[in-house]
Amino acid sequence: MTLKRIVIVGAAGQAREVAWYIDEINRSHDTYRLLGYVVSDLTRVGPRDSTARLLGDYDWLASRANEIDALAIGVGAPAARIKIAAELEGAFPRMEWPVIAHPSARYDRATTTLGRGVILGAGVVGTVHLDIGPFAMLNFGCMVGHEARVGRGAVVNPGASLSGGVVIGEGALVGAGAVVLQYRSVGAGARVGAGAVVTRDVPDGVTVVGVPARPVVARPPPRNGVA
């Protein structure tokens, strides 16, 4: 059997988790040959990045595109996921972006739609009629209720819970351990703080925190240098 040659975009902790998911998939059924990691800018590689399996930057991808079958995004920030996807879809239109789902992820495959490049972490539990958009990520330990929709590039962080009928907009972030109550929505580019409980719809681009979740209010600048 021919294994799909796959490269992970990113080299830090999230990329290492995606590499683990791929390893676990292969333990269940040989599917991929993981070549390593690439980053957009080698000058920004830091101490949290894995260098042992670092292959290069986007120029390396371009020079070896015919030796690679698939890509996966190992970056946890929604805006970065969307940017990377747009750049690399344009540069490599024939490249495959498979769904990377840890074998422990559970959901109704008969009624769930998963877009290209979706990442499902270990222990994700979904139910029925889910719609997970391209390049979205459900991090480990998430719970997702019936008819929930998660937009392109959105990220639901570890241990968060989306109740039935919840809508998460494109590029939104739901923080670790947060809860979004039934039929509520989180707008495009919005952010829900860790541990928050969303009881009302969150508008586009708004950050909410707390229980119940409320918008973060910007503090006015200090007067005469006094806070």
Reduced 3-state DSSP string for 23-85? HHHHHHCCCEEEEEEECCCHHHCCCCCCCCCEEECHHHHHHCHHHCCEEEECCCCHHHHHHHH
Please state whether the peptide bond connecting residue 78 to the residue before it is cis, i.e. omega within 30 degrees of 0: no
Whether residue 185 contacts residue 166, with contact meaning beta carbons closer than 8 Å, is answered with yes
Provide CATH 2.160.10.10 ranges for the chain: 99-209
Question: Is domain 4-91 annotated with CATH 3.40.50.20?
Answer: yes
Active site residue 29: no
* pLDDT score at 217: 79
* pLDDT score at 225: 55
Decide: residue 195, CB within 10 A, 0-12 exposed, 13-18 middle, 19+ buried. Answer: middle
* pLDDT score at 122: 98
Cα(145)–Cα(16) distance, integer angstroms: 28
For residue 39, give both structure tokens.
């980053």
| CA neighbor of 172 nearest in space, from 67, 78, 51, 71 | 78
* pLDDT score at 221: 66
Q: What is the mean pLDDT of each run of 10 residues along the chain (227 residues)?
A: 94 98 97 98 94 96 96 98 98 97 98 98 98 98 98 98 98 98 98 98 98 86 61
Cα(36)–Cα(39) distance, integer angstroms: 10
CA dihedral 109, 113, 115, 118 (to 10 degrees): -50
Provide CATH 3.40.50.20 ranges for the chain: 4-91
Whether residue 133 contacts residue 114, with contact meaning beta carbons closer than 8 Å, is answered with no
Range 99-209: architecture per CATH: 3 Solenoid (2.160)
The pTM of this model reads 0.93
* pLDDT score at 136: 98
